[in-house]
Structure 1
Amino acid sequence: MIKKLTFFICLFSSFVFSQNLEFTVFVKDFDTDLPIEDVTITAVKSNQGFLTNKEGIAIISLKKSSDLEFVHTSYKKLNVKNSAFNQKEITIYLEPITQQLEDIIITKDHPQEILMRIIESSKRRLTLPISLKVYLHEFYKRDDKIIFFNDGLINFQILGNDKNIKTDILVEQNRAVGFLDNDFDTTILGYDLNNIIENYYQFKYLDEVLDNRARKNYDFTLKTYPPNENYLVLKITPLPDSKGILSNFRILYDTKEKIILELSSFVDQDRLEMYKEGLLASRKVYKLEFKNTFRKDGNYYYLANSKEVIGFEKRYKNKERKIEVKNHMVITDFNKKTFEYGDRNVFKGKSLINKNTSFFTNYWDVASGFVSTDEEKNIIEQLGKPDTEILNEEENSNE
């Protein structure tokens, strides 16, 4: 394929010269007034995507005026008219659904069989080919201290079909700050961008609960989802006597559309402590979390955002180190049409940790769809300073 030079020019032009409507949204719990993290916000007219951070904050930058949809599985969905966004800062309250009781559903087929059918249906329904514009945001910890950060605007060109997915990655802008030891093996860090979409679109994280042995190791429970009678929740939990590092799963799916809307998993801390020797040959895992959110809009069905956290201990030069990687991916825009590009423009690396910083706008402030918290911004600023400047600041603070 021949790369069209107009591609990046158009990206730049649309970003810089479009008259965006910008404001900050604070999303809070109606009962507690506390901020709500991981709220998926979608502009109804343009399908632009945003995600709230730990402070419940999202900076909204719209291409055109639009109503906004606020979705979180622990709260009632809320649609807010665009006329309400007439100030630079807006507070939105979501009503929790935790008070509503879930009923257990008894089915003729085992829930595992239902899950298999839902997975196959979801694979077929996912929109392909598609171009996803993604903001990637990653923090790296060593011994409980953040030592490195990278983020970037990435274009995933997802081609193929439900049986064979191919992903090409084009990095629009990116930055990397911090310091990794020379002996630090970067191949164990980050999430492999070249197969991450395939894992998500093939629902590979569910493989461990799909084989015949899974019924002996897990309890499968199907429950109602009170906010929407068309949705059901499948909870999969390891049985007390089952061995190994086994995840707890929660799958929210639409019974009419037969598609997965949210998939999350985590491993209980007690189970990690008991079986941490067995997950990876050279690592002792102490944290393992995952969450995917999918969105259905008309004929489109696509990944809306994801979050993964892995923490493990690994020996370096006869010393145990705790390593933790936290990754957010937010789909800020998408297009059914893919664009032309050359092979030399495709990013071949495993992670942005291996790519030199290159940016021409402060994309992380507005274009990201997901902003760092004030605490994270301070950390990023410190990571970006030369070692001599940090040393001088420490000396001045001690005087």
Structure 2
Amino acid sequence: MIKKLTFLLWFFTSAVFSQNLEFTIIVKDFDTDLPIDEVTITALKTRQGFLTNKDGKAIVSLSRSSDLELVHSSYKKMIVKFSTLDKKENVVYMEPNTQQLEEYIITKDHPQQILKRIIENSKDKITIPISLKVYLHEFYKRDNEIIFFNDGLINFQILGNEKNIKTDILVEQNRAVGVLDGDIDPNILGYDLNNIIENYYQFKYLDEVLDSKAKKTYDFSVKTYPSNEDYLVIKIVPLPESKGILSDFMVVYDSNKKLIIEVSSYVTPDRLQTYKESMFASRKVYKLEFKNTFRQDGNYYYLANSKEVIGFEKRYKNKERRIEVKNHMVITDFNKKTFEYSDKNVFKGKSLINKRTTFFTDYWDFESGFVSTAEEKAIIEKLGKGDEEIQNEVENPKE
């Protein structure tokens, strides 16, 4: 049965205003005692999602008591019992998997063919339709200094099927602070929210390694996955003689269910250093990263979180500038049902950058699933004060 939009908003926000169980988790490396960032945390009973920041910190806000699953590609998966999380701030240690060496798997079929079958099965099994509650978090740097920040709570309603995905976007709350100027190309200011889910759910970032010609450009291999014996890894690395801005890819998949669990890519510094010509024309790329984490739970198979980073150098007013954009998306909740809403409520823009700031709760601390570090919060506060000064000058110009 189709419900009204008001019920959708109630479903996603009711936990905040009822009886949440809130506490902090700091995840550290068992051997080094250092914090671990980008640990995917899932509440097993409520399926709420969280992600640790650079300090290994996540503020967990549960609608009811639940054990937590912690997953990171470099560490052994672990389950933390809710009964042990009895402090306001809880430190949890994950065991690295570096003690176990990866082993090559000899396969009858070429790894590229295996990858194609895994992608098709993953697309077939991805849960559609679904409504995802997403926290979007973006920082923009100029010459290594953060100059702009925006984030927001977004509802993605995903309709259609794996071959024809349609996404409607409903923005609950958002904020934007800082000042962008002409040295940042508007084409990369934020990621196009209208097709980002389609790209992720159809695994389009892997298209470049699926062509038959890619076998002459990349080395493909299948290896064991030390942290989980049910998983395998397909690694795709550019051959030394291959030219251009080519990424190293890693695809972690469930060897029994044939589902992708994680897909990531990055361009090595050495390859970027020698790279001269690119799709970005006048821009020289110095950083390019991407990562999607998926989760399979019963009949549900969905995106858990994502990260994209692009950094490039560009001349602006006869001066070389370094620009970097980092985007995180965390799926904090989801609902298999679809909902009815007015077309005027659908967000049509490509990103939240130019959307007017609107919020009624401190969602970034308690509903986001991914909190900024203390250092980042100080920067955001400083950028916000700068916005206030600019607005004051507009409203009260000096004579």
The interval holding the TM-score normalised by the smaller chain is over 0.9
The aligned counterpart of 1:395 is: none
The 1:334/1:185 distance shift into structure 2, 3 A limit, reads: same
Query: Is 1:23 matched with 2:28?
Result: no
For residues 85 and 330 of structure 1, the distance between their equivalents in structure 2, rounded to whole angstroms, comes to 22
- After superposition, residues 157-196 of structure 1 pair within 5 angstroms as 157-181=157-181, 184-196=184-196
Secondary structure of the corresponding residue to residue 364 of structure 1: helix
Question: Is 2:243 the counterpart of 1:239?
Answer: no
Per-residue CA distance 1:337-358 (angstroms, 9 max, x = gap): 1211111111111111021100
1:316 is matched with 316
Matched letter for residue 219 of structure 2: D
Partner of 2:32: 32
Aligned residues: 389
Q: Which residue of 1 aligns with 2:221?
A: 221
Tell me how far 1:4 sits from its aligned partner.
3.9
SS in 2 for 1:109: coil
Query: For residues 57 and 217 of structure 2, what CA distance do their matches in structure 1 show?
Result: 40
2-structure distance, mates of 1:12, 1:243: 47
Structure 1 residues 112-127: aligned runs within 5 Å: 112-127=112-127
Q: Which runs of 4+ in 1 moved over 6 A?
A: 387-390
1:1-399 matches, cutoff 5 A = 4=4, 6-7=6-7, 10=10, 14-181=14-181, 184-386=184-386
- Structure 1 distance, partners of 2:5, 2:159, is 21
CA distance in 1, matches of 2:184, 2:191: 16
Is 2:53–2:370's contact at 8 Å kept on the other side of the alignment? yes
Question: Secondary structure, in 3 states, of the residue corresponding to 1:101?
Answer: coil
Q: CA deviation at 1:12?
A: 7.9
Check conservation: 1:245, 1:279, Cα contact below 8 A: no
Could you tell me which residue of structure 2 aligns to residue 393 of structure 1? none
Please, which moves more after superposition, 114-123 or 273-282? Answer: 273-282
CA deviation profile, 1:355-381 (whole Å, cap 9, x unmatched)? 110000000011000000011001001
Letter aligned with residue 301 of structure 1: Y
What is the deviation of 1:16?
4.3
- Give the direction of change, closer, same or farther, for the CA distance of 1:130–1:13 in structure 2 (3 Å limit): closer
Q: Which runs of 5+ in 2 are unaligned?
A: 391-399
2:394 is aligned to none
CA offsets, 1:94-132, max 9 Å, x none?
Answer: 111111011101111000000000000000000000000
Q: State the Cα distance separating 1:178 from its structure 2 match.
A: 0.3
Secondary structure class of the residue paired with 1:385: helix
TM-score (norm 1): 0.94
How far apart are 1:180 and its partner, in Å?
1.1
Contact 1:276 1:286 (8 Å CA) reproduced: no
After superposition, give the CA deviation of every residue in 1:238-262 in whole Å (9 maximum; x if it has no partner): 0100011100001100011111000
Paired letter, 1:186: P
Aligned-pair CA distance for 1:318: 3.8
1:388/1:26 Cα in 2 relative to 1: closer, same or farther (>3 Å)? closer
Cα pair distance change 1:5/1:128, threshold 3 Å: closer
Q: Tell me how far apart the structure 2 counterparts of residues 5 and 167 of structure 1 sit (CA, whole Å).
A: 15
Deviation at 1:189, TM superposition (A): 1.1
- The structure-2 alpha-carbon separation of the partners of 1:387 and 1:371, relative to structure 1 and needing over 3 Å to count, comes to closer
Assess if the C-alpha contact under 8 Å between 2:309 and 2:324 holds in 1: yes
Percent identical: 76
What is the alpha-carbon distance in structure 2 between the residues aligned to residue 10 and residue 129 of structure 1?
19
CA contact (8 A) 2:175 2:357 kept: yes
Say what the alpha-carbon RMSD is for the aligned residues. Answer: 1.8
Distance 2:162 2:45 in 1: 28
**AA paired with 2:66?**
S
Q: Which runs of 5+ in 1 are unaligned?
A: 391-399
Structure 1 residues 170-220: Cα deviation after superposition (integer angstroms, max 9, x where no partner): 000000000112675433311111111111001011011111111111111
Counterpart Cα distance in 1 of 2:336 and 2:159: 11
Query: How many Å apart are 1:81 and its aligned residue?
Result: 1.2
Deviation at 1:317, TM superposition (A): 3.6
TM-score by length of 2: 0.94
> In 2, are the aligned partners of 1:314 and 1:320 still within 8 Å (CA)?
yes
